[in-house]
Amino acid sequence: MGNRPDELRALLDSVAKQEGDPVEVVVVGNGSPVSGLPEGVRTVELPENLGIPGGRNAGIEAFGPAGRDVDVLLFLDDDGLLAGHDTAELCREAFAADPRLGIISFRIADPETGVTQRRHVPRLRASDPLRSSRVTTFLGGANAVRTQVFAEVGLLPEDFFYAHEETDLAWRALDAGWHIEYRADMVLHHPTTAPSRHAVYHRMIARNRVWLARRNLPAPLVPVYLGAWVLLTLVRRPTRAALKAWFGGFREGWTTPCGPRRPMKWRTVWRLTRLGRPPVI
């Protein structure tokens, strides 16, 4: 969004230092102009802010429809920094070794403390962030996706604007038979933050949770999944204002179009369960 030029330049420097073949880079200005970038970096300037999934989709399409001009795309937040010089090579090796590996989720760590926040480990058993594993979702600002996944299941859901767009894509990819891995050895340094810093957080996370369920879950699981999240939200005891925004978003999720409904197969439900995160929580 053009408000972190120093951090963006540091990120681009860390990408340029990657070992192996050079990484082609596209920077998307999501409703903002882009300037002052290193030579060879391509830019896409969107006339308005399309939200996180809309901006990332524009980046995908910069490499051809569904990114078909390349095999793998990395998505990196502009205030992040690749900690090692071997991340790109590790990605190449991982995708080459497993033809059904569709998505890799990097580990996000604070650059000062090295701590990985629990919410940045995309599984329920998150106490050991240094353990790599198969997972059921991924982190939007630090990941790599095989472009064949986009060609097969579609891009990110642009109407989501912010929140849960990664899980929507992950569930569709898993339903199509792809694997998702959390790799603790692929690290993006990123300052520790709270997701609630975004003004739209409580509304969007509730609305998109409903959309996610309506789009992807078998009908019997929709009320179970959403009921569990209502209870979890109440147990966390948010402020009155936050709770009001959350329930406003929850209501909006039921009363507005959620996009095409393609419920996952029951065998995918079982697969998610075996991976440790049944789609009811």
- The pair of three-digit structure tokens given for residue 32, joined into one six-digit string: 């903002």
Residue 269 has pLDDT above 90, yes or no: yes
Percent of the chain residues past pLDDT 90, beyond the cut: 95
φ, ψ dihedrals at 75, nearest 5°: -120, 120
pLDDT digits (tens, 9 = 90+) for 91-113: 999 999 999 999 999 999 999 99
Would you state the pLDDT for residue 194? 76
**Mean model confidence pLDDT for the chain:** 96
Confidence class for position 197, pLDDT limits 50, 70, 90:
low
In angstroms, the Cα distances linking 55 to 48, 121, 161, 191 are 10, 24, 9, 22
Taking the CA atoms of the chain, what radius of gyration do you get in angstroms?
A: 18
pLDDT digits (tens, 9 = 90+) for 42-52: 999 999 999 99
Q: Does residue 38 contact residue 16 with C-beta atoms inside 8 Å?
A: yes
* DSSP H or E run through 4: none
pLDDT digits (tens, 9 = 90+) for 237-252: 999 999 999 999 999 9
Residue spans of alpha helices (H) in 157-218: 165-175, 201-216
pLDDT digits (tens, 9 = 90+) for 70-94: 999 999 999 999 999 999 999 999 9
Say which amino acid occupies 122. Answer: P
Would you state the pLDDT for residue 192? 87
Q: Does residue 217 contact residue 281 with C-beta atoms inside 8 Å?
A: no
